[in-house]
Amino acid sequence: MGLFPMNTGNSRQQIIPPTRLRVKAGFVVYSPDSGNRELVILDEGELVAVDKSHDNREIKFRMHAGDIVGVASLFENEPFRYTLEATEDSSVTIISEDCLESELKNIPIWLLATLKNLSQNTRLLKESAHRTPVENTLMSLAEYCAHLESGVKYPVDTLIREFNWLTRIPPVTIKADLKSLLRRRFIGLSKNGEELLIQVHNATLMQIFSDYLYAREEGLVWEPLRLSLPQKRILVHLTTIKKGVEMEAPEWIRLLNERELPIDVAQWITLQDLGCFKQGLSNKFHVDMERIEYYLTAIRYDSNLRGAV
Amino acid sequence: MFVKEGEYLFLEGDKGTSLVIVKSGMLVGMSKQLRQRHWRNFGPGSIIGEFSLLESKPREYTLRAAENSEVLFIEQKALQRELEHKPGWFQSTLSFLANHCHIAEENLKKSKIVQALPALLFLFSKHLVASGSDNIALATLQKKMLVLNNTEFSETERLLQLLEEFDILKIEGETIRVPNLQIIPLLYEALRYRALNKQVSPDILSITEQLVLTAFVKAVKENGISIRGNKATVPTEMLKAEAKKAMHGGTLTRRIIAPLTASGILEASPASGQSPVLDDTDSFTADFYHVIDLLELNRIFPLLDKKLV
């Protein structure tokens, strides 16, 4: 945009003076039909901003001495939509685009940059309000799908509309992310007549995928990767333990060692940190089967998670 | 001024009265408000701290030199000197732009909260339905909101506080508890229905329908009618009498009750289609707890809609 001039550093460039008007009551100071971008400063009297876009003439606001309008129109390219009319005899100063530009040519570069930054930031903030706040759209979709029921067929169109309403991610991006989930074999597509249906094979796996992407995004260690081969063997073995068995830590260590699954105190602490054991009453621990299934599923579908299928 | 790599220029929240211009090198800005990955880099030509210069606002970032850099500080005195030589409208324009930027920032904050509401209700309702539990850990919900909608932790907390004002939930330290497991799922469905179908959800009732259901609940409670398998049956005459009180002397007619029987909320006995003749109807049956939930939904919905949507 041409409003912010290249600053030449010449402070003696000619200033184009503003236009000063003395107007009678009823005079139209500014009309949106003119297409002009200008600042209107009321020095004396009163002006009204009138919305004439509808059949009714609606007064939007009144301007009093010292008020200024048109800044957003000049700096932020936001058209001023109202007609400005004098309600009494008034004095106004009009700063045209050329006048402002000449003034801006005579200010130091840091002040120009400040003005430019303020106007740019406002524009970006306004744009952000209409955009999706989501940065990692695939992670967001995985989280959404983790809350769908495994094996249930959902119409793709409704799913896209609901997800778009929740996150404002554009449908075209949602479709691309659904393809990504399809490539990883996390979801399946089918048809019922003309209707396209989608089904999440395993909602837990979707949750794992969401957690995996989150860990990657935040630079965190992906917990299933912390498991060594002997620890993985221990997890598989723990799935065979009867539900409700509770023992103190030394007993668990002894039991696993007896079953030729060598484990020392450090490894026990790691498993505990990972949530594989839950502390019950007193010092006794029981296996958290849900957590172990989570890790084993993550390990089993490692290549799907990485997108290497 | 030269700054060495790793050197800090100032900390977030420090008092600031100057603008920083990066002449060469690279600075990195970090904020506690933003998560780690949202560092901002400031290369040559960047300016930092417009609001510190204009309004003495505290520093938004902790600013560190990512490499050996040269920066220039512009103090408020320099700004005042410049403005002294400018026409009055120039300062008004500068103030307007700064103010406009603040307004855009506030609007964005508000709209982010409003737009995050469906995502929060989605996650919460799915959790309540899947777990059958009446609570969720604040940290879990915050993380899920971040993953699904990129909602900052503080924004989720603010939204929860707003919902607490309507007695939808209770924030108990690190746990969010709901007094009623059904309300959040019902609220989510009502909003979802409206968004996807562009019409009011069938669960959102007219005032008259609400009065009839209130009369139904009162009849059950005040006459000691037993509730079997969640169902309660109210004789037609009793419902008429209660409805007359609830509707301030108004009469319960076939036309008034028809939408409630058509939607299946009330069942007429003997069954006589969707619009039963009251004189031929012995009684009305409904899922008592569902009726109470619907009345609660209808209490909350317009209030929430007014405040947030």
Same domain, A198 and A255: no
Cα A175 from Cα A177, distance rounded (Å): 5
Same domain, A212 and A228: no
In CATH, what number is assigned to the domain containing residue A180?
A: 1.10.10.10
Q: Which domain-ending residue is among A92, A126, A160?
A: A126
For residue A263, the distance in angstroms to the closest alpha carbon of chain B comes to 31
Give the domain range for residue B165: 95-197
Q: Which domain-ending residue is among A96, A126, A156?
A: A126
What pLDDT does residue A67 have?
87
Cα B170 from Cα B178, distance rounded (Å): 6
Half-sphere exposure of A89 (CA within 13 A, CB side): 1
Same domain, A231 and A292: yes
Give the domain range for residue A240: 223-306
What pLDDT does residue B294 have?
97
Residue A12 resides in a domain: no
Question: Is the pLDDT at A237 greater than 70, yes or no?
Answer: yes
Model pLDDT for residues A250-261, shown as the tens digit of each residue: 999 999 999 888
Residue A151 resides in a domain: yes
A94 contact B CB<8A: no
A283 contact B CB<8A: no
Q: List beta partners, residue A41.
A: A68, A93
Same domain, B19 and B61: yes
Question: Nearest residue of B to residue A157 by CA position?
Answer: B196
User: Is the Cβ pair A218, B115 closer than 8 Å?
Assistant: no
Residue A83 resides in a domain: yes
Residues of B in contact with A117 (CB under 8 A): 47, 50
Same domain, B224 and B252: yes
Question: Is the pLDDT at A9 greater than 70, yes or no?
Answer: no
What angle do the packed helices A137-145 and A171-183 form, to 10 degrees? Answer: 70
The encoded tokens of residue B301 equal 């919905």
What pLDDT does residue B124 have?
94
Put the strands of the sheet holding A58-64 in their side by side order.
A28-30, A83-86, A46-51, A58-64
Q: Which long-range contacts (CB under 8 A, 24 or more apart) does B231-236 make?
A: B231/B285, B231/B286, B231/B287, B231/B288, B232/B285, B232/B286, B232/B288, B233/B269, B233/B283, B233/B284, B233/B285, B234/B283, B234/B284, B234/B285, B235/B282, B235/B283, B236/B278, B236/B281, B236/B282, B236/B283, B236/B284
Binned at pLDDT 50, 70 and 90, residue A6 comes out as low
How many domains is chain B partitioned into structurally? 3
The encoded tokens of residue B68 equal 């050996």
Same domain, A178 and A273: no
Pick A39's closest partner by Cβ from B93, B115, B123.
B93
User: Is the Cβ pair A158, B196 closer than 8 Å?
Assistant: yes
Instruction: For an interface test with B, give the residue of A16, A37, A40, A118 to mutate (most B CBs within 10 A).
Output: A118
Pick B82's closest partner by Cβ from A108, A119, A144.
A108
Please compute the mean of the pLDDT values over residues A222-236 and round it to a whole number. 87
A65 contact B CB<8A: no
Residues of A in contact with B119 (CB under 8 A): 166-167
The encoded tokens of residue A243 equal 């539900």
Cα A276 from Cα A291, distance rounded (Å): 6
User: Is residue A226 within 8 Å of residue A267, measured between CB atoms?
Assistant: no
In CATH, what number is assigned to the domain containing residue B7?
A: 2.60.120.10
What pLDDT does residue A106 have?
85
Q: Which domain-ending residue is among B35, B55, B84?
A: B84
Residue B306 resides in a domain: no
Binned at pLDDT 50, 70 and 90, residue A1 comes out as very low
Residue A2 resides in a domain: no
What pLDDT does residue B35 have?
57
What pLDDT does residue A12 have?
52
B27 contact A CB<8A: no
Per-residue tens of pLDDT for chain B, all 309 residues:
899 999 999 999 999 999 999 999 999 998 876 654 567 899 999 999 999 999 999 998 899 999 999 999 999 999 999 999 888 888 888 988 899 899 999 999 888 888 999 999 999 999 998 888 999 999 999 999 999 999 989 899 999 999 999 999 999 999 999 999 999 999 999 999 999 999 999 999 999 999 999 999 999 999 999 999 999 999 999 999 999 998 888 888 888 999 999 999 999 988 776 667 788 889 999 999 999 999 999 999 999 888 876
User: Is the Cβ pair B89, A168 closer than 8 Å?
Assistant: no
For chains A and B, count residue pairs whose Cβ atoms are closer than 8 Å.
126
Question: Is the pLDDT at A285 greater than 80, yes or no?
Answer: yes
Cα A2 from Cα A97, distance rounded (Å): 9
Same domain, B151 and B234: no
Same domain, A109 and A165: no
How many domains is chain A partitioned into structurally? 3
The encoded tokens of residue B214 equal 């209130």
Q: Which domain-ending residue is among B51, B84, B117?
A: B84
Cα B76 from Cα B56, distance rounded (Å): 9
Residue B8 resides in a domain: yes
Model pLDDT for residues B221-250, shown as the tens digit of each residue: 999 999 999 999 999 999 999 999 988 888
Residue A132 resides in a domain: no
Q: Which domain-ending residue is among A203, A218, A233?
A: A218
Residues of A in contact with B111 (CB under 8 A): 129
In CATH, what number is assigned to the domain containing residue A92?
A: 2.60.120.10
Question: Is the pLDDT at A11 greater than 70, yes or no?
Answer: no
Cα A281 from Cα A230, distance rounded (Å): 28
- DSSP class of residue B216 equals H
Residues of A in contact with B151 (CB under 8 A): 133
Cα A102 from Cα A205, distance rounded (Å): 62
Q: Which domain-ending residue is among B84, B110, B137?
A: B84
Model pLDDT for residues B7-32, shown as the tens digit of each residue: 999 999 999 999 999 999 999 998 87
Does the bond joining B302 to the residue before it have cis omega, within 30 degrees of 0? Answer: no
Question: Nearest residue of A to residue B103 by CA position?
Answer: A122
Q: Which of residues 196-255 of B touch A (CB under 8 A)?
A: 196
Same domain, B281 and B223: yes
User: Is the Cβ pair B119, A135 closer than 8 Å?
Assistant: no
Same domain, B99 and B193: yes
In CATH, what number is assigned to the domain containing residue A294?
A: 1.10.10
Contacts of A186 (CB under 8 A, 6+ apart): A142, A145, A200, A201, A202, A205, A206, A209, A304
Same domain, A122 and A24: yes
Put the strands of the sheet holding B2-3 in their side by side order.
B2-3, B69-75, B18-24, B47-48
Same domain, B106 and B188: yes
Mark out the alpha helices in B38-87 (DSSP H runs). Answer: 50-55, 76-84
Residue A3 resides in a domain: no
Residue B296 resides in a domain: no
Residue B90 resides in a domain: no
Residues of A in contact with B82 (CB under 8 A): 107-108, 111
Phi first, then psi, for residue A107 (nearest 5°) are -115, 155
Same domain, A227 and A298: yes
Please compute the mean of the pLDDT values over residues A22-37 and round it to a whole number. 90
Same domain, B107 and B176: yes
User: Is the Cβ pair B192, A128 closer than 8 Å?
Assistant: no
Same domain, A142 and A164: yes
Contacts of A120 (CB under 8 A, 6+ apart): none
- The whole-chain average pLDDT of chain A stands at 89
Residues of B in contact with A143 (CB under 8 A): 144, 147-148
User: Is the Cβ pair A166, B118 closer than 8 Å?
Assistant: yes
Please compute the mean of the pLDDT values over residues A99-126 and round it to a whole number. 89
Residue A281 resides in a domain: yes
The helix (run of H) or strand (run of E) holding residue B74 is strand B69-75
Pick A125's closest partner by Cβ from B79, B89, B108.
B108
A75 contact B CB<8A: yes
A120 contact B CB<8A: no
Same domain, A243 and A208: no
In CATH, what number is assigned to the domain containing residue B150?
A: 1.10.10.10
Residue B266 resides in a domain: yes
Residues of B in contact with A118 (CB under 8 A): 50, 94, 97-98, 100-101
The encoded tokens of residue B133 equal 């539990």
User: Is the Cβ pair B82, A111 closer than 8 Å?
Assistant: yes
Residue A5 resides in a domain: no
Q: How far is CA A150 from CA A32, A175, A184, A206, A299, in A?
A: 57, 20, 16, 10, 19
Same domain, A246 and A176: no
